[in-house]
Structure 1
Amino acid sequence: MLSIEGVITAEGLVRARGIRYATASRFAEPTPVPWDGARPSERGPACPQPPSALAALVGNSVEGLSFDEHCQVLSVTAPADASGLPVMVWFHGGAYVTGSGESTKYEASLLASEGVVVVSVSYRLGVFGYLRDDLGLLDQLTALRWVRDNIASFGGDPANVTAFGQSAGADSVYALMLTDTEGLFRRAILQSAPLGTRSPERAEMTAALRAALSVDGATSVEDVLAAQVAAVAEVGPKFAPSGGMPFAPELGSVDLSAVAPRVELLVGHTADDGSPYVPSREHWEAVTELVFAGGARELAQDWAVAGGQVATYRFTWAPADAPLGSCHCMELPFLFDPDGWLGAGMLAGEEPDPVLAKTIRGVWAGFARNGMDALPSRSLEFGG
């Protein structure tokens, strides 16, 4: 048993927060930081960022956190008696401009209690991470190497790693699948990946953003963020739907034949993913299909054709008085500890159904443990 004072929780879990896995100067590639075995209990910093466009819906995802460009940290939650358990590495969403893996919204006690080791990763965002050379993606790859090299100390199996994420975090996992040449994970879960924003015009949009942004290593953080907001407002509308997520890894042409046979995939979305982004039900159904549902369906089909094993899911639960139905992010309070989601506008005063939440955590953990063999179906529905 790992008995470290101040880290063992009342639930019998080891929780280590804000472990630094890399460091980097502005606009430079990350340098791995060797782990010294320390298991700190304080949350690490979030990347500097503007306010979230979805704050009214989900709440403040960075409340109580400090901000620092040197945000390459991760947190681990594991059963105290863990030994050889499957590992789940979480990449947060936020359109590549907001959020943090250190957020209380991603508290993973209940998920870890399903018999898995959970790692939550923070990485550079916006201009800091994706204006040049996809540095945020390099941060994420460095974090996965940290997991490979160190997770056994927490009772995790480095040969049984699942990468999972939601929204931009799911898009990150998609990019990681296509760029990981080291076999850093064997399974992937994509939750509401905005794959419909991945159009051929993304390279042109990135070039336009670079032209509109005049920042360097000496520009203050405040001025970088102000310039980022102004550039996105100017450039984004010219490149819909890609402009809805202007910062993201550039992947070029995609060939799934090399990756699909070695990575088992679970991919899906919420029934009304598009509702926060448009004013009417007619339009939100169209956005759900264009940005989220259609891309998930097509990826699943292409994955199977390329020789991979794949399952899909659809999340339909919504509160009785939900203003936006089963909207983007609605599954997250079911996967992570619900206390972090109290007061979220999307829940309309209701609490997540605990039975459904237990089911979802069990399915996710089971998939991480045994892949497709653990799933009750290759086409899953989660609703109330």
Structure 2
Amino acid sequence: MHGGSPVTDRVVIDTRADYLRAVEEIAGGEGPVAVDAERASGFRYSQRAYLIQIFRRGSGVFLFDPPAIGRFDELQAVIGSEEWVLHAASQDLACLREVGLDPSTVFDTELAARLLGLPRVGLGTVVEEKLGIVLRKEHSAADWSTRPLPDSWLEYAALDVEFLVDLRDVLADDLVAADKVEIARQEFDATVARPEKAPRVDPWRRLSGIHSVRGGRGLAIARELWESRDALARERDVAPGRLIPDTSIVAAVRTQPTSMNALAAQKDFSGRASRSEIDRWWAAIERGRTTTDPPVARGTGETLPPPRSWADRNPEADARLKAARPLLIARAEEMQLPVENLLTPEFLRRLAWIPPEPTTPETISEVLEQLGARPWQIDATAQSIAEAFVAAHQTPVAAESDES
């Protein structure tokens, strides 16, 4: 299990009867419950869980097949009020909630490692550093919708939870020693309480390479191709990039072929469905070419311009941002944690772009709270941000020349 030959007796629980027996065994265990989920990102359209792993002391490891089992309400009734131990909980909570599994409290070992200032926070690295156990991580990007799952994959999945509770105990002691227990509690609670992300406005604008597309007509073609691909991917439950990659969409926009044959002959228009669905792609290009409602150059919404453009577009905001950053970096170093965990970078940018009036620690604190900063983050940063903004206002030229 620690780098030798994999165990081959791991069994996937894929019937209701076996599932209910496993729930009884888990109920007979004690203490926190380690939880993990495996998806098929990059292979499937959906982000559903294709394997859910559970470990509890006194019970052992259980590997569940969610598509076969369906809802996990009985398991939720048993473990819902217990502390769940996950590594990078925010990545798994959505797919767990989809099948009825929803924690009331968590201990996130990845987040704890970040708060403790560990330079690398992957599960394998943290387990090796804290427990002296080497975990193989070769199947992390596997297609977990595969059936049957190979024995080596099952062993990998089991080990992802088998040592989580031990790791939790070591990290909990480290948090006590670092006087960061309350910080961790607030972060863990925020992870559980974080609302589901709202659907993106114009999600096609995240198309890789879209920045190179010029003009409303080109953007319209890119939009139509993206939406057509997305609809087909959803229908087939296939990752969109496996039908045609983003590079193919951008290539078609760049050349704007004049016929279906020209599109089919285009070598850089590739992908498993590039030719079998050529009618679909050509129809999308035609819609984009003839639309009377082409998209505007920049997306709607509340996205701020990139900071590199602030010096020209909003010099005062640029000065505020450049004055505040070094102070937050110094505060993060003092607290021995990453600056992005001290305060979400987007929060600082929003404050710098439009600061509250008057600019005081109290008004900064109010805005940070509205944005979603935790109390400990506000306590650690509001004073410094207010001082930096005031100093930038008083000496804008000096602040603007600060390259940090």
Shorter-chain TM-score range: under 0.3
Higher strand share: 1
Higher helix share: 2
- Asked which structure has the greater RCO (Cα within 8 Å, sep 6+), the reply is 1
After TM superposition, the score normalised by the length of structure 1 is 0.27
After TM superposition, the score normalised by the length of structure 2 is 0.26
